[in-house]
Amino acid sequence: MITARKAHTRLRRTRALALTLLLPLVAAAALLTLSPFDCPPQGAALSAVGREFMRLKNRSAPPGAGDFDGRVTLESLLRPGEDAGRWSESRAAAVEGYVVEVVEGGVEAANCYSYGRRDVHIHVAARPDAPPREWLVLEVTPRFAERARAQGLDWTASGLRRELSGRRCRFEGWLLFDREHAAESENTAPGSADNWRATAWEIHPITGIEVLR
């Protein structure tokens, strides 16, 4: 027989469990109401690991001269073979290559699931007609797009597509191993039918762009 005391205790426990389950959802929903430039560096990630990964994606300080790994080139990043531990996410790189295409990224946790605040993906290769499995992915984040706009530069998807497509360019920025795409990269999932890039390593965020020719 369930007494009034037992029923009350069960009700309290049910309410506590519901609150525990709802709090992360409420926090995520609150992030979705932020204006485009109020998204925090950790984005809308809920786990500690996810928040740290989003902070790497959303780095806002450009690298200093001592941060660059001089061994990193387009050729070394594209070199075949398991490469998850080949480079360091604490270092920056400068690479030169041909821009195959420029596309707007999807809606993602790093940008608080904002439709208007999205990364721009620049796909670079050793030649302008390279197939996807020979591409390096580089990304302009909303923070650096805004920094560029303040300097009179257009780092939107349409602006960069117009200025960079088919041209040889030099890019600078932080190295990032995008583990979310490791199963779609030729170096970490060789021969997979889902591969659309050479490596899960990226320059992300891009902090400098120069058109060479």
pLDDT at 138 over 60: yes
- pLDDT for the residue 54: 97
Structural tokens at position 193: 């039918």
Q: In terms of residue numbers, what domain contains 124?
A: 65-211
Domain CATH number, residue 127: 2.40.50.140
pLDDT at 143 over 90: yes
Q: Please give the single-letter amino acid code of residue 196.
A: W
- pLDDT for the residue 38: 84
Give the separation between CA 8 and CA 203, rounded to whole angstroms: 56
Question: Which of 57, 83, 99 is the C-terminal boundary of a domain?
Answer: 57
- Confidence (pTM): 0.83
pLDDT at 65 over 80: yes
Cβ partners under 8 Å of residue 90, min gap 6: 67
Give the separation between CA 48 and CA 78, rounded to whole angstroms: 31
| Across 122-140, average pLDDT | 97
> Residues 69, 107: one domain?
yes
> Residues 90, 126: one domain?
yes
Least confident of 22-36, 105-119, 130-144, 193-207: 22-36
pLDDT at 26 over 50: no
pLDDT at 50 over 90: yes
> Residues 90, 185: one domain?
yes
Residue 27 — pLDDT band, cuts 50, 70, 90? very low
Give the separation between CA 212 and CA 168, rounded to whole angstroms: 6
Return left, alpha or beta for 185; rule: phi > 0 is left, psi -120 to 50 is alpha, else beta.
beta
* Count of domains forming the chain: 2
At 142, give phi and psi (nearest 5°).
-55, -35
Query: Which of 107, 69, 113, 100 lies closest to 201 in space, CA to CA?
Result: 69
> Residues 104, 47: one domain?
no
> Residues 82, 142: one domain?
yes
